Amino acid sequence: MSSFSPEVMSNPRAERVKAVARLANRKGREATGEFLVEGPQAVREALKAHLLDDNLLQAVYVVGGFLESHDEFAELLEQAQVPTRIVTGEVLHAMADTQTPQGILAVAAIAQPQLSEVLSSKPKLIAVLCRVQDPGNAGTVLRAADAAGADAVILTKGSVDIYNPKAVRSTVGSLFHLPVLNNIEFDHLIEAAKTTGSQVLAADGYGALNLDSLQDAAVLRAHHGGAEEDQGLEGQPVLEAPTLWLFGNEGQGLDEHEKQAADHAVAVPLYGVAESLNVGTAATVCLYASARAQHASKSS
């Protein structure tokens, strides 16, 4: 049975249009438990995720002619059986957060994974954003975590709402690939994580440990069949071990409380004259260091 409605939505002032547009604001999202997904890439990944969880997508809105130039969407929409409406360009513009919407948007339910469930699944790698407030930076870290095969991304209280339209767009669909926990109390997270045996590493430009040294040690262990439990002669952390990486606020980095909660502070070495790395870049380097060590450990 087709999920398409034969009626074309043409009134940009209709109540349904206004209701979708309100999802660009936090109050609108909190009232409905829904958020906006804009653009072909994000909607495509949301549709794929909906095939695994049919509670995810609530509706899809697409301008006439879009499906003719994007063949894969017609098939995905039929498979997903999401209520779909054809709209005019004026209606889509009224719904969207962007000034130049790209022909399609969706309304999705905000996922509510539980911290206890995420930690009980024995995660190997989790990225924690501590008071990261820029939507673009949050999206970059989430994409890096997705690409590195992380098990989850956690945003602590004081961080950007990951369901903010700008943050959703910046994830380019990665938001739908792994559990994402929003607005989590930092102390509760650390207490719960340490009961699972995971190590907590703080990415800190002034950290006592050097990420290069930890990577070199991981390579040596992989070549010699070293065990994850071997903490090394100097008590250094082991990148192969289950790890939560803490990444701090753009301007301030991690505060003293966040640093002290970590087992170790680790610096990414700088070989040029740059004063520091953007949080998204630093997170990418750290997450890939752990991912590479963990994969090498499995194959050794």
Q: pLDDT for 249-281, tens place per residue?
A: 988 899 999 999 999 999 999 999 888 889 999
Which tokens hold the place of 112? 């509510």
166-188 pLDDT tens trace:
999 999 999 999 999 999 999 99
Q: Decide if pLDDT at 20 tops 60.
A: yes
pLDDT of 130 reads 97
Q: What percent of the chain has pLDDT over 70?
A: 95
CA distances from 228 to 67, 193, 209, 285, 298 (A): 50, 18, 18, 21, 10
This model's pTM is above 0.85? yes
Sorted by sequence, the CB contacts under 8 Å of residue 40 that are 6+ apart come out as 70, 73, 102, 103, 104
pLDDT of 228 reads 44
pLDDT of 229 reads 44
pLDDT of 26 reads 95
88-138 pLDDT tens trace:
999 999 999 999 999 999 999 999 899 999 999 999 999 999 999 999 999
193-246 pLDDT tens trace:
988 989 999 999 989 999 999 999 999 988 877 544 444 445 789 999 999 999
145-173 pLDDT tens trace:
999 999 999 999 999 999 999 999 999 99
What is the residue-averaged pLDDT of the chain?
Answer: 92
Question: Whole-angstrom Cα distance, residue 4 to residue 142?
Answer: 32
pLDDT of 71 reads 85
Q: Decide if pLDDT at 285 tops 80.
A: yes
- The answer to whether residues 157 and 132 touch, using CB atoms and an 8 Å cutoff, is no
* 6 — pLDDT class (breaks 50, 70, 90): low
Question: Whole-angstrom Cα distance, residue 48 to residue 42?
Answer: 10
* 4 — pLDDT class (breaks 50, 70, 90): confident
* 2 — pLDDT class (breaks 50, 70, 90): low
* 55 — pLDDT class (breaks 50, 70, 90): very high
* Residue recorded with tokens 């509760």: 188
pLDDT of 300 reads 57
Q: Decide if pLDDT at 5 tops 80.
A: no
Which tokens hold the place of 6? 């034969």
